[in-house]
Chain A
């Protein structure tokens, strides 16, 4: 029996204690993600989408509820290197070349030198950065730095990719290109991807499912299963189906907004 359920969240609740009082970041979140899904989380600031991703990554602890990743707790999943995390900023070390940066998790996880070289070459190819191994981060554009950051997350064998607004700081043209590349990558590696974004077109373009969230307290308003075909050229963004899904997302966001 193939275990196709990769992530399961039930009744998740998270309240932060801050200097300015308690913040109810997540309330009653229920969610199931299957293997190979591309799930986007979209919502305004403070809706908890990043927090949810961080809980999956064991970077934040829930105050209540149950979360399993690959059938185990997020902590065990993290310790067995079940996922790669891509942050909003590339977070590359300026004192290491791009290749050395991508090698960093491999060094930490104890891969052999030959393995490291092999994997670095493979992921450079995947993100189309071959030839830039010996460059330093500050010699690369913002888009290329983010590609390097994605390569780093792909370097070790993790079936899950958690991405927190990775393209948020880039201009739209670069963003379109990276969206296309990400889809290609997803198809060729068949990873399960959780993707947090602000942008409705991006969420609709990339995902098989879209989770619409709203703030105060952070909760899920709607989960939309996309009926777009697997082959998605950029022009699909003008199609009827795309616009319908976008409108449904927009309605969800508005509904969440008017709850306040």
Chain B
């Protein structure tokens, strides 16, 4: 009982602190606090509510149970992580990106091709590509290769569309300048257009980090060796071992955040010149 009201009080206090922080001037140190406070108060309320309302662990386990399951299953979780994220998601992501870049270069050189592939690419990027997962598992078997294939197809179209759009983005004034230097196609590409395309490319890369993870996990629902995050979830869930499922989700969330964060850092490094990175928005 006390826990529950304690959690509510903490929530209110955290909100007040956040409102105070919001009123202050920008400060790197202070800026980190609100999301942390918010997250912590949510966890407290979660824990307290589960205990107070006696929610069955079959529906929603408390954070404490998840934590204990997590630290007691690290080897399994690690194995699943390697199978799904490294072998499945990451390799598929790289393959899909590489293929998308290659095709967008072709689209850039041959305008006819670009005009045709762009509407098709936009259409397919909006499709539930995840639906080809069963088909690819049927073709490539149960191993990580089929998962990588699913991920590659899923990330291909968004990145293609974003890259093609980015390549069109350089200012006419810059391209005219290149022409006065009699620069070749490749020189203009490398020295000008790739750089101006980078913000758009990164837009696509960021979106696709989450797509890659989802693709790899869901693809495992359709068939997988006895390893992998999707496999674990699909087998533990029907057994109502929800604490394990949530532990896997935690791993997924951490992996997803690290992946996304990594791409963001790369973006900051490469496109440091763009207004959105200079804080001038």
- Measured CB to CB, the residues of A under 8 A from B are 19
Contact = CB atoms under 8 A, between A and B. Distances in A.
Contacts, number: 3
3 contacts: A19-B278, A19-B279, A19-B280
Contacts of B279: 19
Contacts of B278: 19
A19 B280 CA distance: 9
Query: What 3 A-B pairs have minimum CB-CB distances, sorted nearest first?
Result: A19-B279, A19-B278, A19-B280
A19 B278 CA distance: 9
A19 B279 CA distance: 9
Contacts of B280: 19
Contacts of A19: 278-280
Nearest to A17: B25
A33 B266 CA distance: 55
Interface of B: 278-280
A19 B277 CA distance: 13
B278 to A, nearest CB: 7
The SS class assigned to the B binding surface is loop
B73 to A, nearest CB: 47
Nearest to A19: B279
A245 to B, nearest CB: 40
B247 to A, nearest CB: 43
A15 to B, nearest CB: 15
B273 to A, nearest CB: 14
A19 B281 CA distance: 12
A50 B279 CA distance: 24
B28 to A, nearest CB: 14
A44 to B, nearest CB: 24
Nearest to B25: A17
A57 to B, nearest CB: 23
A124 B216 CA distance: 64
A120 B41 CA distance: 54
Nearest to B280: A19
A14 B278 CA distance: 24
A19 B275 CA distance: 13
Nearest to B279: A19
A226 to B, nearest CB: 40
A229 B279 CA distance: 51
A22 B107 CA distance: 47
B129 to A, nearest CB: 36
B259 to A, nearest CB: 30
Nearest to B278: A19
B236 to A, nearest CB: 50
A197 to B, nearest CB: 27
